[in-house]
A and B are shown apart, each in its own frame.
Chain A
């Protein structure tokens, strides 16, 4: 979601990087661009102003002027400042209290509270081995309590039985009581969506807070929120003293400005991210990684983690052994194509790699079809095992057969073969560079110049 922001900043920084010495007006010009980029990314105006002021103070000081590479220095300052604004370290959910520990979820209508509640519950139950009870206090929206019950069934998490007509404070009391009796570790309270200007409902969550004494009060907020993010976050914070933020819909193509704004006005850490529609699509928030991603420095750590999750261990080992020998055939290419698809396709991976922002843009400009991967796989599938192991065998008539077998065309088959050739050259390079070299040079070090 942070991609558009990183693209905008990328352009600014590209220009800066090329410059030798910078004077004050250079810095100002760059910061004006940064400002617009942040505003277009929906970072709230007051937050942008404060951010720019902070960066400017550092940038115009001696730090930059004395630096050998002033452009790089400005980028570093912006990066550091971003990390600072987003929070330097990830903060986990705080559940250290006498069980049952209450966690209350608040937020606007439609921000994703109920789904997030179920996600956190499942996450706590499977990853942290907690016994979790969920209760919906939403008596406003039709069928909201039903929704949590169904999600509970899907996630395998206990939900408080629904008593029709009961009011939120009563439900909260009953939930805490039930949790005590059943020896639960955590009680998740899903409250009704409310506008932060709705006094009656805000009073209601204050009352629930009194009854349940939650250890965590999480504001569930939509990552697509615009300038209003500051108002929402600060009003909720004033009223119930938030302890953290869960950002949802982070898998959209929004620019994530809301994350910056909310963190900045409340000082509350962003603790969790909702990354998809499935109940497992939840991640802890890593500010440093996100800041890097915003600035197009790549998020190698996330990529490696993701790779580790999706890549079958043996397969990876097998590939590594082959690479070590400098051998790489079309079967390996197919394995790789499959892995890439599992990891969210070309685009998903590119977003995480350092130096890949530019490549990605070129890909978009060249109109590369997202289905490319599966078509390429089909081409390889249409080859005989012998052809896959020894691509040199493939002559014109074999190409014709492969093309018709996979429903593609001969030029496309040629492209796969060319790609394999480039890849095998690349694999030899990687072998020479070693693992460290690859990390340092990033993708640009190994990809053919586009």
Chain B
């Protein structure tokens, strides 16, 4: 799929989400003075896109600094917004690149229930096998019924081995065994699935910590990457998710899924602002090719409805 094509897919997804935001901006700024009232309304719109109260206030303050009490047009405001958002997002837009020095590069995938961890692993496997890497998957979600089967189906689709235990088996033991086998079979990449867990369940978080601890027995640097999968429909709770998962298992990067709905994923901006963790990829559809690298400018433009306008031209 060409670059242009995936971009239109993202904008198509985000268009639905941003039409509310941008529609409101247009009604807000046909041409008017950027006064306190207008700023407050702008701030509300950002909050409505899940950017959160703090980040929204900061962006608005930045925009007000140069444009307060000036007449502004809709396009100008959108561009100013996109610039502000891009500035926050650019430092975090980094793709996931397995280090060839590691044999295998171990990726632990974590997150709360239902964010799309297993699907993301399947898509990652597809992506990296297509790049010619030898990929192994470990079905570490031994809790949810049929999670193992789900990953095995992805294994068949990508012709990659899947290490699985029995339902209810110890996930840490499974991960340990998987890493051993991946080493023996000289794999390039080991993707370890984990059961979804809410970040406020301390016993489940302890279990996660154990997984990364036992991996270190084989390879002191493993897991080399820890991906936290976030659901775009999640609101401000994503901040709490990142904070706790980071504490427990040293998250190295984020993946945001389900951006093809009307969810705006604006919380990514708040996350970048607060944690500055790399955003590796975004999910814009159910197909295996719909997991895409994260591009700050395009995301910002799509969020502010700029790309939509360009596409219409």
Chain A contacts to B: CB under 8 angstroms: 36, 39-42, 44-45, 108-112, 114-115, 140-144, 146-151, 154, 195-197, 222, 224-229, 231-232, 235, 249, 251-255, 257-258, 277, 370
Contact = CB atoms under 8 A, between A and B. Distances in A.
Given A39-B53, A197-B16, A370-B202, A254 B154 contact: no
A113 to B, nearest CB: 9
B263 A228 contact: yes
A151 B145 contact: yes
Contact of B263 (A148, A150, A226, A277): A226
A226 B235 contact: yes
Interface string B247-265: 0000000000010111110
A226 B233 contact: yes
A231 B237 contact: no
A142 B150 contact: yes
Contacts of A150: 145-146, 167
A144 B150 CA distance: 8
Contacts of B45: 45
A281 to B, nearest CB: 12
B234 interface: yes
Contacts of A251: 198, 200-201
B261 A40 contact: no
B149 A111 contact: no
Interface string B141-165: 0011111011011100000000000
A229 B115 CA distance: 16
B109 interface: no
Given A144-B150, A226-B263, 15 more contacts: A45-B48, A142-B149, A143-B149, A148-B145, A197-B261, A222-B231, A222-B234, A226-B234, A226-B267, A228-B17, A228-B50, A228-B262, A253-B200, A254-B240, A255-B237
B150 A224 contact: no
Interface string B14-57: 00110010000000000000000000000011011110110000
26 contacts: A108-B233, A110-B114, A110-B231, A110-B258, A141-B119, A142-B150, A142-B153, A143-B147, A143-B152, A143-B153, A144-B146, A147-B150, A150-B146, A151-B145, A195-B260, A196-B262, A222-B234, A224-B112, A224-B231, A225-B234, A226-B237, A229-B233, A249-B112, A253-B200, A253-B237, A370-B202
B225 interface: no
Contact of B112 (A36, A39, A252): A252
Residue with the highest number of chain A CB atoms closer than 10 Å, among B45, B145, B264: B145
B114 A112 contact: yes
A417 B233 CA distance: 49
Q: Top 7 closest A-B pairs, CB basis?
A: A226-B235, A110-B114, A42-B235, A147-B146, A150-B145, A143-B149, A142-B153
A190 to B, nearest CB: 12
B116 interface: yes
A385 to B, nearest CB: 31
B114 A111 contact: yes
Interface residues of B, number: 51
A110 B48 contact: no
B90 interface: no
A219 B32 CA distance: 42
A328 to B, nearest CB: 30
B47 to A, nearest CB: 5
Residue with the highest number of chain B CB atoms closer than 10 Å, among A109, A112, A370: A109
Nearest to A226: B235
A112 B240 contact: no
Contact of A112 (B113, B167, B232): B113
A44 B50 CA distance: 9
B198 A252 contact: yes
Contact of A110 (B116, B260, B266): B116
B286 interface: yes
Contacts of B48: 44-45, 227
Given A222-B233, A226-B233, A252-B198, A40 B52 contact: yes
Interface string B208-236: 00000000000000000000000111111
Residue with the highest number of chain A CB atoms closer than 10 Å, among B146, B147, B202: B146
A96 to B, nearest CB: 31
A110 B235 contact: no
B11 interface: no
A39 B236 CA distance: 9
Given A42-B235, A251-B198, A146 B146 contact: yes
B194 interface: no
Contacts of A255: 235-237
Given A108-B258, A110-B115, A144-B146, A228 B233 contact: yes
B307 interface: no
A253 B237 CA distance: 7
Contacts of B198: 249, 251-253
B145 A147 contact: yes
B235 A225 contact: yes
Contact of B233 (A44, A140, A225, A257): A225
A341 B235 CA distance: 31
Contacts of B119: 141
Interface in B60-108: none
A195 B258 contact: yes
A262 B158 CA distance: 39
Given A111-B114, A227-B50, A42 B261 contact: no
Contacts of B235: 42, 224-229, 254-255, 257-258
B153 to A, nearest CB: 4
Contact of B116 (A109, A149, A231): A109
Contacts of A143: 146-147, 149-150, 152-153
A221 to B, nearest CB: 9
Contacts of A148: 145
Contacts of A149: 145-146
A323 B78 CA distance: 67
A249 B261 CA distance: 20
A222 B257 CA distance: 15
A255 B234 CA distance: 11
B283 to A, nearest CB: 10
A148 to B, nearest CB: 8
Contacts of B201: 251
Contact of A277 (B16, B143, B200, B260): B143
Contacts of A45: 44-45, 47-48
A45 B46 CA distance: 10
A219 to B, nearest CB: 13
A227 B262 CA distance: 10
Interface in B119-150: 119, 143-147, 149-150
Contacts of B150: 141-144, 147
